[in-house]
Each structure stands twice: as structure tokens, then as C-alpha cells.
A and B are shown apart, each in its own frame.
Chain A
Amino acid sequence: MPRGAVSSGAKGPGRMERWDGVGPRAAGARRPDGAMERAEYERFAPLLAPEQVGAVVRLAAALVGRDDAEDAAQEALLRAWQAWPSLRDRSAARGWLLRIAVNVCKDWQRGRFGTRRRRDAPLGDDDGLALLGGDPGASDAAASLDLRTAVNALEPGLRLVVVLRYYAGLDATEIGMALGMPPATVRTRLRRALALLRERLSRPGRWPSAYTSEGGR
């Protein structure tokens, strides 16, 4: 994607229309009508608060690209609702929701959703993580693109934590919950990744040239 072109399809007016009744999500959705299930829904409802949904959206955007983030996030929330009765420790619901979102995004990357297979967000390397891209701003975009190119060139395990930390905006604890690793491991990876980035950014051209911004190859 050339600089300046923004992947803004997610904001198109057609997005919401796809949500009213078609596809595997709607078919599998439980709709509670009894008093007991209504109470369950009210217990689930805090997971639909903006802070929770926002974290899922950011995580999804980081993993599958911004174009598919809305669909993936909604899929994750619906899966969470379906699995809600099986969650025993509801004090850990946020981490549980983030793990579901990670799994949904992995499935998304593997193309398990038929026509909802990712279309325009380019696949990354073998980890399937979408590459960072998009329009970083107006007149001084080059520095941002250099930064994103350097991030894209990190090895998958390091890139994942950098993207989740700085682009998805999750903290180390949340990343640990989402990826099933101790926060200390996340922090160690972050430090390692930052040290590599710092070195590479001070020596331009050391990362593989095949990695460019989203859509650019």
C-alpha cells in the first residue's frame, strides 16, 4: 500500500450490515430468553464495556490487520459468550477473553472462516502475523515507516510482543494472559526486541529488504 493510503475499510458503512444474521457466528449464537440466562447475560455484559472490547479490537488489529479487526473482534466476543458458562474463575475473565481473541485470530490467519479469510492484509512470515502498515501521519511519515519496517523484520516471537505492547497497547500482564506466558517472559522479550530495534535503527539496511509496510510488497 502506498504511503498515504489508509486501510479504512473497517469504517465503511457496510460493516455493521454484515452483522445482522448471517455467517457462522450468528448461527452459533445463543440467545438467552429465560431468567437464568438473562442473569448470565448480565454477568457477561461487563465484557462488552468499551475497555474490554477496545483491548480485543486492538489485539485483533495487531494480529490480523486493521481491515479484519472488527470482524475478528466480534467473532471473539461471540465465542466468549458461547463459552461463558464454562468459565469457572470469572475474576480472570479479561485474560480469558484475550486468549479467546488470540485463538480466533490464529484461526482467522489460517483461513477457517471461508469467505472471511483475510483478503487484503498481507500475511507476514511463517507466524502469520499481519505486518504493520498504514498511514503513520502527514508530512513526516518516513520515520514511522522505518520504525514499522524494523518491527516487521523482527523474528516472530519478538515481533509479536512488540506489536501487542506498543501497537495493540496491551501491558505485559495482559500480553502474558493472552499468550499464556509469564509477564516476566514478556518483559524479557520486550527488552531483547527493543535492543535489537535500537541497534538496527541506528544501522539502516540491516533488516531484510523483503519486509516493507503493509501492502507494500
Chain B
Amino acid sequence: MAGRYDEPMGRGDQADLPPELEALARRLDHDGMLWRRELPDERRIARGVAAQIAPADIRAQPPQATGRGYGDTWDAGAGGGWEPPRDQAGGPRGGGGRGRWGLAVGAALAIVVLMAGALWSLGVGRRGPDISGGPTATVPTATSIVQPSGAWKTMGTLRTSQQTVFAPSDPRVAYQVALPTPGSDALMLARTDDAGAHYHILPYPSGLLMDAHLIEVGALVSPRDPRTVYLYAARQGAGCSGTCFDQWLSTDGGATWRALSLPVPGVLGVIEAGSGSTLYALVAQSLVGSGAPPPANRMVASTDGGRSWRLADGDLAAHGLGVSDFAASPTGTSVYIISEPANIASQPPSFVPQYQLWRRDDGGASWTLVGDVPGNVSSGLRLAGQTLYLFAPQRGQSLAASLPQASTDGGRHWSAAPTAGLASDAQLPDGLGAPTATLGDGSLLLVLRSGLDRDVYAWQPGATAWRQVAPPLTAVHVDAIFSTESTGGQTTLWAVYDGSTPDALTVASYPLG
């Protein structure tokens, strides 16, 4: 059950960028996150404003109006806003510890809380849910958050001045690739098997021309085999109309390469494991051609470990539809697609495409239309066994408004995940998106921010609350979360995250009990 990268920037914006600029955009995203660490606390500012403009009767509300659900009541501070109770050292009082100070929302949030008082009154856990402004907030149930025992084990730290791609089936294995530096004609291509402790410098494919026309290189690792890796190169000029892609495959960890042939132009994007030995992948064609609108993405499948690929979306393409996202699962019997109009790239900006959900069952010769995608979102599908998840937060939405939805009947009916079990100050990391993965029991894993911590939660339909499945990570940004299962049935969580050092990624693991 592999996780996959979630771009820290808006998916829509990212999709607008040509591949050769994506690495720079990610670097800017990272630096922006570092820069934002020093910004003033928005809750404190809101409290200051509310203290000036809130009607007197609201300001005079008794403290318990905001206190229920936190285990503490709040006191009216000297400045007129609500202050959390403090201990003798001046710190926030109470046994909650982590994230407690983040609860000091003050009068501004108190107004929101007043309007949603009925919801709040039911939350009695140590840290209740954040329902700030979400119209689809669900009623939290009484629950307490149990901190998992143990600790994450740091496996290593990788320098990331170049693209780093982790093997979902063993994230200690990673490939690093970078364009030649000025004054050098050497492509940087390396593999580590021990999370950065040692590197193996790899040969690059003989067909890869090192010249000024090479604009981008990248890699992708099979979700099943850490030694099956794909390398692509994008070139412009020198006979290419627009951008040309070449792609190679190695099944021995990058020691040898052979050219990869795909049934349509483009490069393999996301790869997911399906049932049996089947692999599914998206073929991105975003820069093929010159001037003309790029063709839509296609889906391909492989049954020989990723050595050869065939089209797997045939009848959809015939109906003028491209593939915006897909989901497959090793333990599921279906494959799902979110379709989009194949000519979407040539539409004016005001065009609103209709995204639809399609299903194909094993053995079926064609795709079945399930219906419109909830929220008309273009991505965010995950499949865990027979349970389909949709998680596509939009920028500016609160966490409560963007919680994952789940379907256990093939996408016909959806139910939103609860807020119960989440930290009271839980929010989407950096405002948009969150790393996700799935567990063998059909649960969805979700990483959320809570103060300086990053918490890993799991939930599946039927459960009334999320459960925190691992100790918090202290990280600037969690890039990816993976879960692996040993032959003995032991499930291990893996996190790849940015610590305090730029251009470095830490790999850590945590055994699930």
C-alpha cells in the first residue's frame, strides 16, 4: 500500500507548469515554507482584532462559552480578549501539553464557536476537533486521543539538491538524479539503499544525450520492486517539436538500462499496484507537441513487472475523455478513474470541466460510469481494498470542510470522515493537501499539522473517530507517508520529511503494533 507524493503547492497551479520548471517550483515552495515559519500567529491577530470590534455582549460572554471540549475553561485576558489559563511560569496551563497554546483562539474564534455551539458541546476529549468555518463539519463524538507509544526511528538523511525519489515498497531505497552542473557533462544519478548512509553512483543510459538541449531528467520507482526504476529525459530543440521525452527502464537498481516504449507519447507518471501482478500508471503528455494544446493524460497497465505497457483506458479515450486521476489497490478488484474532457487544455480559463468517476472490474472489458465526482474535483482518489477514498482539499477551505470522503459501494454513495479523534488545532499542512497512504486493513492514513507537530491519523468507514497511529513528527513538511507490510504481517509506517535543514530529507520508520 504505497503512499505517493502530494505537491505542497496547489495541484491546479502545478499542472500549469512545464516539467522543466517543476523542480524550481518545489524548491520555491520549500523555501517559502521555511520563510513562513517566522510569521506572526494568525490566531493571536484575530483575537486582537476581535477584542476591538466584538460587541460588548459577546465580549462579556462567560468563559465557559468557549471552554467545553478542551478540558479547561478560559479566562478573560487584560486586553479584553479571551486568554487560556496560564501556569505559574506563564505558559499555557493544563496537562494537554502539545498544541495546547494553539487552542488560544480567543474572541474571534469564540464567535464562530458560539454559532456552532451545539457541535462543540459534544467534544470532551483532550483535544477536540477544529471546526473553524467548515460548512460540512461533522458532529464530533466523545473520544480521547491516545498517544501511540514508542518513537519514530530515523533511518537516515538525504541531501536533496537534486530530485529524490523513494521506493514505496522500501523507502530506505531512493534514487537521486540531477542535470549536469555548469562546466560538467556528467548527469548525477545515484541510488542509496540505506537512506543516505551510502550512495551508489549509477551509469546513465547510453542513449541519453548530454547536451544543451537536455532540460529535465527525472525518475520513478515501481511500487512493488525498489530495484525497478524508470528514468526520463526531456529535450527541447535539436529536432524536437516542442518537448521530446525519452524514457528508460532498469530492473537491477539502475546498473543497466534499456529504452522503454509506451503505447502513446509521454512519460510514466504515478504508478500504482493493482491486483495480482498488474501495475497501472498514468502517462503524462503535457508537453508533447509544440504550440498545440497538449493531449490528455492516458492510463496504461503492465502485467510483467512494468517492463511493457499497454493502454488501459481505451474506450474512454474513444469518447473524448482523458484521465485526470486513477486509483488501484493490490487487494481490490476494481480500478477507478476520474475522467476529464480530452480537450481540456484548449478550453478558455472560464471553462469548467465535468469530472466523472468510472470503474472497471477485473475481467471487465470496458469502463462503467459511476457518476459525477463529489465536489467536481479532478484528483485525490485512493483505493484501499474495496474502500474508495476521495481527498481533494481546496485552498482556503478549513480542515472540517475538506476531510476525506469514503465509499464502500464503488463510488455510488459517499460519507465524510468525522472530525472526532483529530487534535483540536489540527489543520492541513501549509494550508493545502496532506500526505496520504492506505493500510492493509482498508484504512486511510492522513498526515495533519498540529502546531509544530505532524500527526499521522487513520480512519475507515464505520469508525466514529480517527485514531492517531504514530507519535508526532516534528517536521517543517512531511513530503510522503508510506506503509509496508512484511511477509510476517508486520506493518511499518515510513515518513519522508523536511527537518530544519533545507535541501535535506529525513526518512523515519515506525512499527505499527
Contacts and interface: CB of A to CB of B under 8 A. Distances in A.
Interface stretch (A69-77, A103-111, A116-124): A69-77
A5 B220 CA distance: 39
B31 A77 contact: no
Interface in B29-59: 29, 31-32, 34-36, 38-46, 48-58
Interface string A153-184: 00000000010011111111110000000111
A52 B42 CA distance: 9
A7 B40 CA distance: 11
Nearest to A201: B24
A52 B133 CA distance: 10
A162 B55 CA distance: 39
Interface string A1-45: 000001110110001110110000110011111000110011001
A171 B12 contact: yes
A144 B46 contact: no
A173 B217 CA distance: 30
A191 B21 contact: yes
Contact of A66 (B39, B53, B133, B182): B39
B161 interface: yes
Interface string B54-83: 111110000000000000000000011000
Contacts of B431: 51, 54, 169
B349 A143 contact: no
Nearest to A82: B53
B492 interface: no
Interface in A177-199: 182-184, 187, 190-191, 194-195, 197-198
Nearest to B23: A198
A144 B108 contact: no
Contact of B397 (A19, A51, A144): A51
Contacts of A129: none
Contacts of A203: 182
A187 B13 contact: yes
Contacts of A81: 49, 53
B109 A70 contact: no
Given A41-B53, A162-B28, A194-B21, A49 B48 contact: no
Contacts of A198: 20-21, 24
Contacts of B427: 50
Contacts of A25: 52
B49 A143 contact: no
A137 B34 contact: yes
Most buried by B among A37, A147, A151: A147
B419 to A, nearest CB: 15
Interface residues of A, number: 82
A135 B37 CA distance: 10
B112 A61 contact: no
B53 A29 contact: yes
Interface string B106-127: 0011011011000000000000
Contact of A20 (B36, B50, B51, B182): B51
A92 interface: no
A74 B45 CA distance: 6
A167 B36 contact: yes
A137 B27 CA distance: 14
Most buried by B among A17, A20, A51, A78: A51
A66 B115 contact: no
A74 B39 CA distance: 14
Interface in B311-361: 349
Interface stretch (B191-199, B244-252, B499-507): B499-507
A28 B54 CA distance: 14
Nearest to A66: B38
B39 A57 contact: yes
A69 B17 contact: no
Contacts of A66: 38-40
Contact of B55 (A38, A48, A77): A38
Contacts of A184: 349
B18 interface: yes
Interface string B388-430: 0000000111100000000000000000000000000001001
A183 B46 CA distance: 28
A136 interface: yes
B90 to A, nearest CB: 10
Contacts of A73: 40, 42, 45
Nearest to B35: A167
B270 interface: no
B25 interface: yes
Contacts of B36: 58, 61, 167, 169
A132 interface: yes
B58 A166 contact: no
Contacts of A49: 46, 108-109, 112, 132-133, 398
B10 interface: yes
Most buried by B among A166, A195, A197, A201: A166
A136 B34 contact: yes
A16 B43 CA distance: 12
B16 interface: yes
Contacts of B35: 132, 134, 136, 148, 167
Interface of B: 9-10, 12-13, 16-18, 20-21, 24-25, 27-29, 31-32, 34-36, 38-46, 48-58, 79-80, 105, 108-109, 111-112, 114-115, 132-133, 161, 182, 349, 395-398, 427, 430-432, 500-504
Interface of A: 6-8, 10-11, 15-17, 19-20, 25-26, 29-33, 37-38, 41-42, 45-46, 48-58, 61, 66, 69-70, 73-74, 77-78, 81, 94, 132, 134-141, 143-144, 147-148, 151, 162, 165-174, 182-184, 187, 190-191, 194-195, 197-198, 201-203
28 contacts: A8-B38, A31-B53, A31-B55, A32-B53, A32-B55, A38-B57, A41-B54, A42-B114, A46-B112, A49-B46, A49-B112, A50-B42, A50-B132, A58-B39, A66-B40, A74-B49, A81-B53, A134-B35, A138-B501, A148-B31, A165-B13, A166-B9, A166-B32, A170-B395, A171-B9, A174-B396, A191-B16, A191-B21
Given A31-B56, A46-B112, A74-B48, 16 more contacts: A10-B38, A19-B51, A38-B58, A45-B50, A45-B108, A49-B132, A53-B43, A57-B45, A66-B38, A77-B45, A135-B38, A171-B13, A172-B16, A194-B24, A195-B21, A197-B28
